[in-house]
Amino acid sequence: MRDAEMLPEIAELPKDVPRKGNRITRFIGRYLLDLMGWKIVGHMPNQPRILVAAAPHTSNWDFIIAMLAILSLGIRASYLMKKEAFFWPFAGLFKWLGGVPVARKSAGGMVESLVNWFKLQDKAWLLMTPEGTRRRVDRYKTGFLRVAELAEIPVLLVSWDYPSKRVVLDKVWPLTGDHNADAEAIRQYLREKYTGRITHNQ
């Protein structure tokens, strides 16, 4: 039996998790996820500020499923998105869903900017994909780990598992301070447990 199938289904949010939406938006998210045959399982940490590392990211469908999961749970979560995607008529929708436009070429400056952003928030969940792309990579980027360390926030591992159709909130990962070693350990852990939509991109 896959690990994802043994985890409890998530029904409600702990008190410190940032919230957004209402009964209607939660119903829409749950209805559409259910229509697609997906469930949200795992353990929701009671954390007001957290960095969500979501992988394996192999398909544009990951974004759709993630947004429906966020809607259904009623979480106020932000995510990074290339600024070129924020064009009319979708810019307003992406921002309402939590999108933060970024320039891909400003990697170093982005870490500092995100750390400062976190420090100004009483409650903030930020979703990042460690690969930084939908294509197959030999190693994860370490920017998400540097943000977490400098902002002094935990890292929650979340995965799309397509064979079982589960969005899995897996665990808060213990960081060692060695970004390269942590990134590789996280990559191996998620690759062994979960399967993306396009397996050759994983």
Each residue's pLDDT tens digit, 10-54: 877 899 999 998 999 999 999 999 999 999 999 999 999 999 999
pTM, entire model: 0.86
The whole-number pLDDT of residue 101 equals 65
Q: Per the structure block, which two tokens stand in for 186?
A: 């996280």
Q: Is 172 helix (H, G, I), strand (E, B) or coil?
A: strand
Q: Where are the beta strands (DSSP E) in the chain?
A: 39-42, 49-54, 77-82, 99-102, 124-128, 155-161, 166-173
**101 pairs with which residues across the strands?**
81
Q: Per the structure block, which two tokens stand in for 110?
A: 């982005």
The whole-number pLDDT of residue 98 equals 67
Q: Which whole number is the average pLDDT over 168-181?
A: 95
Please give the Cα distance from 110 to 91 (Å, whole number).
Answer: 20
Nearest to 168 by CA among 40, 12, 58, 38: 40
Q: Which whole number is the average pLDDT over 118-124?
A: 90
Q: Per the structure block, which two tokens stand in for 142?
A: 């370490």
Each residue's pLDDT tens digit, 50-88: 999 999 999 999 999 999 999 999 999 988 776 666 667
The whole-number pLDDT of residue 72 equals 94
